[in-house]
Structure 1
Amino acid sequence: MKTDIEIAHSVSMKPIASIAEKLGIEFDDLELYGKYKAKIPLRFIDKEKVKQHKLILVSAISPTPAGEGKTTVSIGLAQAMNRQNYQTTVVLREPSLGPVFGIKGGATGGGWSQVLPMEDINLHFTGDFSAIEKAHNLLAALIDNNLQNKQYSLGIDPRTVEWKRVMDMNDRALRQMILGLGGTSSGVPRETGFDITAASEIMAILCLADDFEDLKKRLGNIFIGFTYSGKPVYARDLKAQGAMTALLKDAIKPNLVQTIEGTPAIIHGGPFANIAQGTNSIIATRMGLSLSDYVVTEAGFGFDLGAEKFIDIKCRYGDLQPSAVVLVATVRALKYHGGAPLDSLKEENLEALQKGFANLEKHIENMLQFKACPVVAINRFTSDTDAEINLIVEKCKSMGVDVSPIDVWAKGGEGALDLADIVAGTCERCENQITPLYDWNWDVPTKIETVAKRIYGAEAIDFSSQAKKDLKKIEKLGLDKLPVCIAKTQKSLSDNPALLGRPKDFVVTVRNIEIASGAGFVIPITGNIMRMPGLPAKPAAENIDIDNEGNITGLF
């Protein structure tokens, strides 16, 4: 069996100008990054067309550690829809180098449902992550410079500064550190650390901004800390927003590439879903909807994380309305949530599969709470048996849910033609039905409780003493009307990764609540959320190599 990179290399890519032509974009309007990549100017966004065209959101049940192939399904579905003459663009996030070199691998799909050029996209691409990293670290440098500067000091209390530095790499050694050592000329010593770039508030801001003006305003609204006299300090007080926006002048523009079958693909931004909103930029989604009749997009991890935030945060800020929601389910994930050990998931196990249906049922119930019309896509793996696939189909039909087994890894768009027709039909039947879960004007504890009880299935919420202090701070700053972007493990519906399936009678503990006033949300932290991951014992980086001709191997 060929690997993803071997399949990618077996395909002749089309010049990016021919892909742009499908979207009605002239060659001279593209900002080229070589033969196969380009940026699209923001002027191509047409908000009237955005409202007229159909947005399809792809989410998933609670995943196994390896993921369930949402990106592959999104790409395969977009290819299938084009085969069925529904003019479609797929809009995705950019990969982070952390997973690429860590355990999960890249984020360009797989098999015959990939976006190309996969090596470029998985590595440096067009430099967006680098620009976000530099803008973030510029603010960090300006903060420490102001702490050091006696003449222009704002009087910031360094004990209240929580703005760290970022780097797009898994490196656990950078999580906590002391900077400013070496004497008075080397800065003010204080405790800080590094987060991974995908967890940066700058990433979240870029993906929620409307345009340059809105981006600059949001960057200026970043909360830094307090002065010694208790006055709040924002990035605008350091006059940081202009230079930060200048660093993002190209990163704000979405990137155009192609799928293996020549379907247009717009890829932009990459916030993680367990700490931020977990989806591509509002600009990219609007761009896709401006240029094509249908857009297939995805939200990170399970419906309880990415999709909830997509609807309650991104759609509210971006004035977006999904016309259909697809829930990706796999035999292996259902068996995993039914109690089967990870090393046995390739073996047929109808009993574990049946027990795992509880997880699927909860995610479908959650879709219905948003008034979505559920469509289940069973992403088939080679180890799945007909008996297992048929059992899932029967379960979905018994719940009155449209379902389609697909095989887009092996067959590309051809493997999801039935799903494409079901989704297109759902877009017509359920348009403008999806509604948010809560009102932003509610108090923060009520918003957290609503998500935790209705979406996760929690019995109660416990706020730590630190979380209660954070709530008072949020109210003092007048930020209590912002939406909540709950940080939670992706491995469970609860905040405990060990509770698989559909846990009940559990308590969600809010440890603290972070402020992302630039992005426009607050972040209740539940469980142990890692903002700077570490590499596994055998990282994926060990398998990646390049030959003398510049050909890369080992990416997946």
Structure 2
Amino acid sequence: MGTVKSDIEIARAATKMPIAEIGARLGIPREELVPYGHDKAKISAAFIEAQSSKKDGKLILVTAINPTPAGEGKTTTTVGLGDGLNRIGQKAVICIREPSLGPCFGQKGGAAGGGYAQVIPMEDINLHFTGDFHAITSAHNLLSALVDNHIYWGNAQNIDIRRITWRRVMDMNDRALRDIVVSLGGVANGFPRESGFDIAVASEVMAILCLADDLKDLEKRLGAIIVGYRYDKTPVFARDLGADGAMAVLLKDAMQPNLVQTLENNPAFVHGGPFANIAHGCNSVVATRTALKLADYVVTEAGFGADLGAEKFFDIKCRKAGLSPDAAVIVATIRALKMNGGVAKEDLARENVAALIEGCANLARHVDNVRKFGVPVVVAINHFTSDTDAEVRAVKSYVAKLGVEAILCRHWAEGSAGIEELAHKVVALADSGKARFKPLYPDDVPLIEKIEIVASEIYNAGEVTADKAVLEQLLAWEEQGYGNLPVCIAKTQYSFSTDPTVFGAPAGHVVHVREVRLSAGAGFVVAITGDIRTMPGLPRSPAAERIFVNDSGYIEGLF
């Protein structure tokens, strides 16, 4: 056997088509593309608006079991399925999120698929790409600067500096900036106060950009951002500071979806990237809607496991955008299922059918949960070379008893040729007319009840607890007219519970809501549980230590 090529080596060896040719396959005229070099482009707002009367294609969600250190391959499967659908003669587009620099230089080292199921140009997508994240960071921090400037010049809005909720952001993992003091240095620098940084993907501006219908809606949502509270406890909005117009100007180009291609030269939209905890973890509504007008099948993904990503995709993105998914794919690996069954990472290569079957309880819970939204499901087993025939048979048999099919997929090693069976199954499911999509809860139940419904129905929790201050805050927001908003629960991605060390399918656990935040512009209420941080830290040995430019001028170390 030869040496297995790294993702970046595979991506670099790919034959790319000019981006205008990729656009032409979707019926996008050259003049409606704004090129960023030869291999990536933005799609003009005028072209997108002109597609509004066209019929929508079928929408397929790719989600997964809870992530483990063993790896699941959700983005890889999303890309592979898009290629597979095109291979069997369908007109398909994939829609995924843009990677954040923080995780790229931290643990992940990149997030553009893997093996022979990638989007390219891989280096650009993982780094600065078309500048969308920089625009979001700038717009967010402009508002931060305007808040402190307003206070410095007399504070006409009577902002209580103890109740400023708007922080600053940067697209990097830097734990030292989580909690800081700003405006030190005397009278010339303003009034000292506590503040801090979040990672850019946790910014409400990111969530807004990904949920906005168009530039006009974007500006309206930006204006509705709450930056803090007055001494009389009434909210101060971004529009009160005159910030919305300038923020929208900074985001004008970032609102346009990015068009790139897969290794097999199929079209891919890579746009937006909200955190899957503090926000909804899906690519932009604009990109998804545009793709649905241009293709017969659109394959998209949602962040983390189905308990977070899929639930938020259904209850926030689909609810708000009027989208109705036709099928869902739940990705699992035999390695990850064995880890859910109690096998240590170093022992995962050894056959262990008993632990595998025990770990399948996690998969079964996700299958059951997705069905609660009225969406038909298929399971994709993302193949690893260590998988044995007995293990594959065990998963297929287990899933069959749930009334669902599990299909072995080899797209990582074989590209579209390795995922044809799943592509045929997805077409059959999406075309079956069996989807009866509905969100988990109605708009008009109280906010705390919405949290309880998600905790009990999706996490299988026995109880939701919250401090008195949290409950009072939720009631206050209901009185202010925010009661109809969906909830976005920030919880560890590694477990159905709020404890990241509890694998499998725990039941009867307690979900404690320690804090709630109102994302008034994005249009949801965030409930924070456990030890969730909005500014990650770097690991002991970050990927950044192994990323460099080699003697030939190529980037090494992204993976």
TM-score interval for Structure 1 and Structure 2 normalised by the shorter chain: over 0.9
Name the counterpart of 2:540.
Answer: 537
Deviation at 1:66, TM superposition (A): 5.6
Deviation at 1:147, TM superposition (A): 1.4
Question: Are 2:109 and 2:557, in contact at CA under 8 Å, matched by a contact in 1?
Answer: no
How big is each residue's C-alpha offset from its partner over 1:194-242, in whole Å with a ceiling of 9 and x where there is no partner? 0000000000000000001100000000011211123221111001000
Query: Counterpart of 2:491 in 1: which secondary structure?
Result: coil
Question: Are 1:470 and 1:512, in contact at CA under 8 Å, matched by a contact in 2?
Answer: no
* Residue 206 of structure 2 is aligned to residue 239 of structure 1: no
Distance (Å, rounded) in 2 between the aligned partners of 1:83 and 1:178:
55
Name the counterpart of 1:523.
Answer: 526
Name the counterpart of 2:283.
Answer: 280
Gaps of 5+ in 2: none
Name the counterpart of 2:52.
Answer: 47
How big is each residue's C-alpha offset from its partner over 1:124-169, in whole Å with a ceiling of 9 and x where there is no partner? 000000000000000000011111111x621100111111100000
Select the residue among 81, 86, 90 that pairs with 1:82: 86
Distance (Å, rounded) in 1 between the aligned partners of 2:437 and 2:501:
31
Question: Are 1:373 and 1:430, in contact at CA under 8 Å, matched by a contact in 2?
Answer: no
Select the residue among 436, 439, 458 that pairs with 2:442: 439
* Residue 484 of structure 2 is aligned to residue 488 of structure 1: no
Query: Counterpart of 1:322 in 2: which secondary structure?
Result: coil
Name the counterpart of 1:195.
Answer: 198
Select the residue among 136, 153, 158 that pairs with 1:155: 158
Deviation at 1:382, TM superposition (A): 1.7
Distance (Å, rounded) in 2 between the aligned partners of 1:455 and 1:522:
18
Question: Are 2:97 and 2:282, in contact at CA under 8 Å, matched by a contact in 1?
Answer: yes
Question: Bigger CA drift: 105-114 or 546-555?
Answer: 546-555
Question: Are 1:372 and 1:430, in contact at CA under 8 Å, matched by a contact in 2?
Answer: no
Question: Are 1:322 and 1:431, in contact at CA under 8 Å, matched by a contact in 2?
Answer: no
Aligned length: 554
Select the residue among 380, 384, 392 that pairs with 1:381: 384
Question: Are 1:279 and 1:306, in contact at CA under 8 Å, matched by a contact in 2?
Answer: yes
* Residue 352 of structure 2 is aligned to residue 349 of structure 1: yes
Deviation at 1:67, TM superposition (A): 3.9
Name the counterpart of 2:361.
Answer: 358
Question: Are 1:466 and 1:511, in contact at CA under 8 Å, matched by a contact in 2?
Answer: no
Query: Counterpart of 2:331 in 1: which secondary structure?
Result: strand
Report sequence identity in percent.
54
Following TM superposition, the consecutive aligned residue runs of length 4 or more in structure 1 with deviations greater than 6 angstroms are none
- Write out aligned runs for 1:262-281 (5 A): 262-281=265-284
Question: Are 1:44 and 1:287, in contact at CA under 8 Å, matched by a contact in 2?
Answer: no
Name the counterpart of 2:22.
Answer: 19
Distance (Å, rounded) in 2 between the aligned partners of 1:297 and 1:531:
24
Question: Are 2:150 and 2:156, in contact at CA under 8 Å, matched by a contact in 1?
Answer: yes
- Write out aligned runs for 1:131-530 (5 A): 131-150=135-154, 153-430=156-433, 432-530=435-533
Deviation at 1:42, TM superposition (A): 2.3
Name the counterpart of 2:13.
Answer: 10
Query: Counterpart of 1:328 in 2: which secondary structure?
Result: strand
Distance (Å, rounded) in 2 between the aligned partners of 1:95 and 1:326:
21
Question: Are 1:44 and 1:290, in contact at CA under 8 Å, matched by a contact in 2?
Answer: no
How big is each residue's C-alpha offset from its partner over 1:344-380, in whole Å with a ceiling of 9 and x where there is no partner? 2222211210110111111111012111111000001
Distance (Å, rounded) in 1 between the aligned partners of 2:201 and 2:434:
32
Question: Bigger CA drift: 427-436 or 539-548?
Answer: 427-436
Deviation at 1:76, TM superposition (A): 0.3
Select the residue among 112, 127, 134 that pairs with 2:131: 127
Residue 30 of structure 2 aligns with an amino acid whose one-letter code is F
TM-score by length of 2: 0.97
Residue 427 of structure 1 aligns with an amino acid whose one-letter code is A
* RMSD (Å) for aligned C-alpha atoms: 1.2
Distance (Å, rounded) in 1 between the aligned partners of 2:105 and 2:542:
6
How big is each residue's C-alpha offset from its partner over 1:84-126, in whole Å with a ceiling of 9 and x where there is no partner? 0011001110000111001122110001100000000000000
Distance (Å, rounded) in 2 between the aligned partners of 1:382 and 1:34:
37
Name the counterpart of 1:109.
Answer: 113
TM-score by length of 1: 0.98
Distance (Å, rounded) in 1 between the aligned partners of 2:133 and 2:428:
37
Query: Counterpart of 1:159 in 2: which secondary structure?
Result: strand
Residue 410 of structure 2 aligns with an amino acid whose one-letter code is D
Question: Are 1:31 and 1:38, in contact at CA under 8 Å, matched by a contact in 2?
Answer: yes
Distance (Å, rounded) in 2 between the aligned partners of 1:37 and 1:431:
37
Query: Counterpart of 1:160 in 2: which secondary structure?
Result: strand
Question: Are 2:278 and 2:534, in contact at CA under 8 Å, matched by a contact in 1?
Answer: yes
Deviation at 1:472, TM superposition (A): 3.2
Question: Bigger CA drift: 120-129 or 540-549?
Answer: 540-549
Distance (Å, rounded) in 1 between the aligned partners of 2:503 and 2:195:
34
Question: Are 2:109 and 2:544, in contact at CA under 8 Å, matched by a contact in 1?
Answer: no
Deviation at 1:517, TM superposition (A): 0.3
Q: Taking structure 1 as reference, are residues 259 and 418 closer, same or farther at Cα in structure 2, changes over 3 Å only?
A: same
* Residue 103 of structure 2 is aligned to residue 99 of structure 1: yes
